[in-house]
Amino acid sequence: MPSIFAVIFIKIYVMKNKWPLLLIIFSGVLVLVWVVARVTGALQMYRIPAPSGEPAIKAGEIIFTSNLKTPVPGNTVAYKNEYVDSLNPYTVPGETHLHRMVADEGDVIEMKESVLYLNRKNFDTGKNLLQNYIADERLLSAPGNFDQLQKKSYLRQITEKTYEVFLTTEEATALTKKGMVLQKIIYKDMNQSMGAFKWMKKDSVWTIDNFGPLKIPKGYFFVMGDNRHNSLDSRFVGFIKKENFRGTVLNK
């Protein structure tokens, strides 16, 4: 008799508490799926440490990638870095880096006066990029601009009446419509000071804003950051091996 009561009690207990039990089982399945996804690369999570992808992907932001999504030019990708780049000798080979893929194998890219062309078509059309500009003191009177730009360290005084400022394409367009005169900074001689394209041609006259035409070899792709003047990308470290691809960003 006691054993019968015990069985009845267990059945009643399980029936009354089935939802907590199902929740535990469901949670366990989710954890298992997450672990498998992380190990296989089907789903990875990263916290962005640097501003090279701004404004689209901000420093400190959390993004998700998957190696199940085949990237095409325009997608932002995660990849394993193999190089100690020419600007930052403290870059650690094997780290995961993240930039926008701008060209695949067989593509030809060219950059003219800071505008990127992919297979002779303007790749930058419709993209909100972050670049350097020269502006006069009227920039400081624009509502909210001074505090916001200074807080992000995107503002530097050059002379008594001129400033170097980082602006997105959208911000620059809005200020121009208000009558402000902006001059985009085009770097002409960055090779010796920054090391652009030293990985390819030691005597190259190419710079971060003017290079090409450059054909991407088989088995490689080329990446660049949307923060065009503050990104250690393929201009500094070279072509990225396809075998080092780790995933395509999903939530951007």
- Give 125-165 pLDDT, tens digit per residue: 999 999 999 988 877 776 556 666 666 557 777 888 888 88
Give the pLDDT score at 86.
Answer: 42
Same domain, 95 and 173: no
Same domain, 97 and 199: yes
- The Cβ of residue 100 has, within 10 Å, a number of other Cβ atoms equal to 26
The Cα–Cα gap between 2 and 110 comes to: 84
* Averaged pLDDT for residues 66-82: 91
The pLDDT of residue 162 is 86
Cβ neighbours of residue 94 closer than 8 Å, sequence gap 6 or more:
80, 81, 82
The sign of the torsion formed by the CA atoms of 177, 179, 185, 186 equals: positive
For position 1, what pLDDT does the model report? 45
Three-state secondary-structure class, residue 160:
coil
Number of structural domains in the chain: 3
Task: Tell me the average pLDDT of the chain.
Answer: 80
pLDDT at residue 187, rounded to an integer? 83
The reply to whether 109 and 208 lie within a common domain is yes
Between 14-18, 63-67, 122-126, 167-171, the lowest mean confidence (pLDDT) is in 14-18
Per-residue model confidence (pLDDT) at position 16: 54
* Residue that terminates a domain, selected from 167, 184, 201: 184
Question: Are 103 and 141 members of one domain?
Answer: no
Instruction: Give the pLDDT confidence of 97-120 residue by residue, as tens digits.
Output: 899 999 999 999 999 999 999 999
Regarding whether 176 and 51 lie in a shared domain, the answer is: no
Q: Which domain holds residue 162?
A: 130-184
